[in-house]
Amino acid sequence: MRRSRLGLAALMVLAGLFVYYRSKQVNPVTGEKQAIALSPEQEVALGLQAAPEMAAQFGGADADSELQNLVAEVGRRVVSRSRASQTPYEFHFTLLADPDTVNAFALPGGPIFVTRGLLRLLDSEAELAGVLGHETGHVAARHASEQLAKTHLAQVLVGAAGVAASDSGHGADAAQVAGVVATMAALRYGRQDELQADSLGVDFMSDAGYDPRGLIRLMSILERAGGGSRQPEFLSTHPDPGNRAERIRAEIARKYPSGVPPNLTEGRKLGPDRPSP
């Protein structure tokens, strides 16, 4: 009986690994080979389906047409002048009405959102371009589809661990341990995704004509907004903003070893809840 359970568990692991590695393909934006759970068409469909519900959780679209136009204009510029324009995704940029939550996020396939609570903290168009460039990076790098593939594999491994140990009376314990390992792996990959999105954000906003140092200032804004209440970095999918700032400085230095070109701009200055003329 034990041998048959171990055999079944081994088959589950092999099948899961086969599906995972068979799904690998090269991302033309990042140049990396990654396991992908969804086609671009499925990513677009999933994002469009989830967008209304996600927006509703943050008060829906903001009623201020001037601010909506600002977010959409900067977002379109970041996409149209960068490698993001070469992807098959349908990028849409929306300002959400929530004035208290400091957040921005992207859905698979292109819907990108920023809350009023974050926008009101920004001082320049370049900082907004940093936000939108970062979130565009998540979409272009296919992070959601990649995480879904990893989640599917983790579920198979957890199930196999439970099957293998079930006849010894410790199946639940084994599955729990395997689940913790899978969770920590997902958190690690999540932090890597954030750092990669920062790197892509530097590229995208620079290509659009914005000074990439706006993304460094964004990290300072996020750090102040955290007010010391953030989770420890080890347990968070988002790296500490201070650590991200150092990585962004290094990325900017790599991209512009002679210094940031003077033609890259801060864009318009932003006042509280409104763009300046």
Taking only the tens of pLDDT, the chain with its 277 residues reads: 555 544 544 554 454 444 444 657 888 899 999 888 888 998 999 899 999 999 999 999 999 999 999 999 999 999 999 999 999 999 999 999 999 999 899 999 999 999 999 999 999 999 999 999 999 999 999 998 888 877 765 554 444 444 445 554 444 444 444 454 454 445 444 788 899 999 999 999 999 999 999 999 999 988 888 765 444 443 455 667 778 899 999 999 999 999 999 999 999 999 665 554 4
* C-alpha to C-alpha distance for 123 and 273, rounded to whole angstroms: 10
Residue 3 neighbours by CB under 8 Å, 6+ apart: none
Can you give the pTM of this predicted structure? 0.79
Across 18-28, b (16+ Cβ under 10 Å) vs e yields eebeebeeeee
Query: Residue 236: phi, psi to the nearest 5?
Result: -120, 145
Alpha-carbon dihedral angle through residues 223, 229, 232, 237, given to the nearest 10 degrees: -70
CA atoms within 13 Å, Cβ hemisphere of 261: 9
* C-alpha to C-alpha distance for 114 and 58, rounded to whole angstroms: 10
* C-alpha to C-alpha distance for 195 and 198, rounded to whole angstroms: 5
